[in-house]
Amino acid sequence: MDMPARPYVFSQRAQQLTSSTIREILKVTERPEIISFAGGLPSPQGFPIARMRAAFDHVLDTAGAAALQYGPTEGYAPLRAWVAEDMRRHGAQVEPDEVLIVSGSQQALDMLGKLFIDPGSRVLVEAPSYLGALQSFSLCGPEFAAVPTDEGGLIPEAIDESLAAGARFVYVLPNFQNPTGLTLDLPRRVALVQRCAQLGLPVIEDDPYGELRYVGEALPSLLGLGRAAGATVIRLGSFSKVLAPGLRLGYVVAPREIIAKLVQIKQATDLHTATLTQMAVYETVRSGFLDEHLPRVRELYRRQCGYMLEAMRAHFPDTARWTQPEGGMFIWVTLASGVDAGRLLQQAVARNVAFVPGAPFFAGVAPWANTLRLSFVTVPEPSIRAGIAVLGDLIRHADAA
Ligand code: N5F
C-alpha cells in the first residue's frame, strides 16, 4: 500500500529563496546556436591553463601531502600574506591576519549576510546592484533600501541619517559595477567613506573587476581611503576574473574582529577553502605572473568592449542610452520608458540572442523594467555584430509598439 504523501516542511528561511535570473538564463544560453550576452563568464581565452598545470604539478611534487590535507580555516598563510602585500601595493596598509581566504567572493557575501543581517535589518544597496549579492542577503530577510544613483553611480550625499538609520552596512561596487559598468569617481569615493565614517556605517566593497581596467588610471580602493578616514571597510576580492572562476577562490580583507567572526561562520560552512587550490594559486601568482598576464586580459576585454560599443552605435535607435565602461565586462542599456526588457528577452531568445533584463538587479526600489545588461567578453566579433543587430531591430519594433 502506498504511504500517504506528506508535504515537506521547509524552514521560513527557505521561503526567502529565489533562483538567480542569471543562472536560469545561462541554462538557455548553453544551446550552441545562441549568441549570449547574458553570462558574466570571463573569456576562456584568458585562462592560463599551462601555467596552472605547472603550478598544480609543482605543488603536488613538492608538498603533495600538505596540499591534500585539511588546512586552517583562515586560509593558506603564504596566500594571505600575498593578498596583504598586493593590497599594500595598491595603497592600503593591510596585515596578513586581516585577510580571510574564501571559496569565491560569493561565499563572502553569504557569510557577511549571516554575520550582519537579522530579519528586518536595513541593508543599503546601489540601485541597481549585483544580483548574486541581493540573492545571498535575501536569505537573511533584510529590508533593502536603495541608495539613489545617477549617471555617475551611487550618490554619497544621499546617504543621510534617515537612510542610514539602523542600517547594518552599505554594499558598494566601485569599479565597473555589475550590472552598470559604471565606476565611482575619486570625489565620490572620498565623500562616501567620510560619510560612512561619520555615520558609523560599515562599507562592503566588492571589487572582482578592479584589475580589468582598460581605459584611464586606477583609482584608490574604498579600503585604502576608508582606513585613512576612519571608516570600517570590508573588501572582497576574487581570483575568478584575474585567473579563472572554476578555481572558486576569493578573499575578504577586514578588521580582525570581523575576520574572527567570519572564521567561525566559515568553520560551520565548509571548514576551509580547498588547500590544493590555494597552494597552486599562490604558486601561480607569487612571482609576479599577474603583471604579465593581466595586460593580455585587459587588451582582450578592451577590444571586445570596443566591438560591442561600435555595433550599438550602428544598430541601436536614438531612444536607447548606454554606459561606456572603463573596464570590466558589462554595458548597461536604458531603453525608452515603457519598453519591457523581459518581453524583449523572450523575443530575442526566439531569434537566438540572450541578455539579462535589468529588473532583478533592483532591490528596495521599484525596478526599472526598461533596462538590460550586456556582457561582451565571450562572444566573437562577428557574432557581437549579428546579435546587436537583432537587438537593435527588436528595440525599434518595441519603440513603435
Ligand atoms: O568570486 P566569485 O566567482 O564567487 O564571484 C562572485 C561575484 C561577486 N561579486 C560580483 C560583483 C560579481 O559580479 C561576482 C560574479 N558575477 C557573475 C555575474 O555574471 O554576475 C557570476 C555569474 C556566473 C554564474 O552565475 O554562473
257-265 average pLDDT score: 98
Say which CATH number the domain at 84 has: 3.40.640.10
Residues 201 and 87 in one domain: yes
Residues 196 and 329 in one domain: no
Specify the amino acid at residue 327: G
Cell numbers of 232, please? 570600517
Q: Which residue's CA is the nearest one to ligand 1's atom 13?
A: 178
- Of 289, 318, 342, at which residue does a domain stop? 289
Using most ligand atoms within 8 A of CB, pick from 20, 83, 130, 172 the residue to mutate for ligand 1. 130
Q: Which residue's CA is the nearest one to ligand 1's atom 18?
A: 40
Q: What is the pLDDT of residue 281?
A: 98
225-254 average pLDDT score: 97
**Is the separation of the CB atoms in 359 and 378 below 8 Å?**
no
- The answer to the question of residue 204 being in a domain is yes
Residues 102 and 230 in one domain: yes
Range of the domain at 75: 66-289
Q: Of 133, 144, 140, which Cα lies nearest the Cα of 114?
A: 140
Cβ within 8 Å of residue 210, ≥6 positions away: 174, 175, 176, 218, 221, 327
Residues 242 and 348 in one domain: no
Q: What is the pLDDT of residue 4?
A: 67
Residues 153 and 280 in one domain: yes
Confidence of residue 338 (pLDDT cuts 50, 70, 90): very high
Using most ligand atoms within 8 A of CB, pick from 36, 134, 178 the residue to mutate for ligand 1. 178
Q: How far is the CA of 184 from the centre of ligand 1 (A)?
A: 19
247-265 average pLDDT score: 98
- The answer to the question of residue 274 being in a domain is yes
Task: Tell which atom from ligand 1 comes closest to the C-alpha of 177.
Answer: 11
Question: What whole-number percentage of the chain has pLDDT above 90?
Answer: 88
Residues 256 and 321 in one domain: no
Say which CATH number the domain at 25 has: 3.90.1150.10
Reported pTM: 0.95
Whether 273 shows a pLDDT value over 80: the answer reads: yes
Task: Tell which atom from ligand 1 comes closest to the C-alpha of 22.
Answer: 25
Whether 177 shows a pLDDT value over 80: the answer reads: yes
7-17 average pLDDT score: 84
Residues 334 and 389 in one domain: yes
Q: Which residues line ligand 1 (CB under 6 A)?
A: 20, 22-23, 26, 39-40, 104-106, 130, 132, 173, 178, 206, 208, 238, 240, 245, 250
Specify the amino acid at residue 52: M
Q: What is the pLDDT of residue 70?
A: 98
- The answer to the question of residue 138 being in a domain is yes
Confidence of residue 66 (pLDDT cuts 50, 70, 90): very high
Whether 92 shows a pLDDT value over 60: the answer reads: yes
Residues 359 and 285 in one domain: no
Whether 170 shows a pLDDT value over 70: the answer reads: yes
Task: Tell which atom from ligand 1 comes closest to the C-alpha of 250.
Answer: 1
- The answer to the question of residue 181 being in a domain is yes
pLDDT digits (tens, 9 = 90+) for 210-223: 999 999 999 999 99
- The answer to the question of residue 61 being in a domain is no
DSSP H helices, 218-255, are 222-229
Q: How far is the CA of 106 from the centre of ligand 1 (A)?
A: 7
Residues 217 and 336 in one domain: no
Q: What is the pLDDT of residue 39?
A: 82
Total domains present in the chain: 2
- Of 289, 319, 340, at which residue does a domain stop? 289
Q: How far is the CA of 398 from the centre of ligand 1 (A)?
A: 30
Using most ligand atoms within 8 A of CB, pick from 238, 277, 278, 378 the residue to mutate for ligand 1. 238
- The answer to the question of residue 278 being in a domain is yes
Q: What is the DSSP string of 344-374?
A: HHHHHHHTTEE-EESGGG--SS---TTEEEE
Residues 233 and 176 in one domain: yes
pLDDT digits (tens, 9 = 90+) for 289-311: 999 999 999 999 999 999 999 99
- The answer to the question of residue 55 being in a domain is no
Residues 144 and 257 in one domain: yes
- Of 289, 321, 347, at which residue does a domain stop? 289
Cβ within 8 Å of residue 126, ≥6 positions away: 146, 147, 149, 153, 154, 171, 172, 173, 177
Residues 35 and 111 in one domain: no
Confidence of residue 32 (pLDDT cuts 50, 70, 90): confident
Task: Tell which atom from ligand 1 comes closest to the C-alpha of 103.
Answer: 4
Q: How far is the CA of 208 from the centre of ligand 1 (A)?
A: 8
* Mean model confidence pLDDT for the chain: 95
Q: How far is the CA of 175 from the centre of ligand 1 (A)?
A: 14
Query: How many Å apart are CA 342 and CA 345, to the nearest integer?
Result: 5
- The answer to the question of residue 1 being in a domain is no
Whether 19 shows a pLDDT value over 90: the answer reads: no
**Is the separation of the CB atoms in 147 and 126 below 8 Å?**
yes
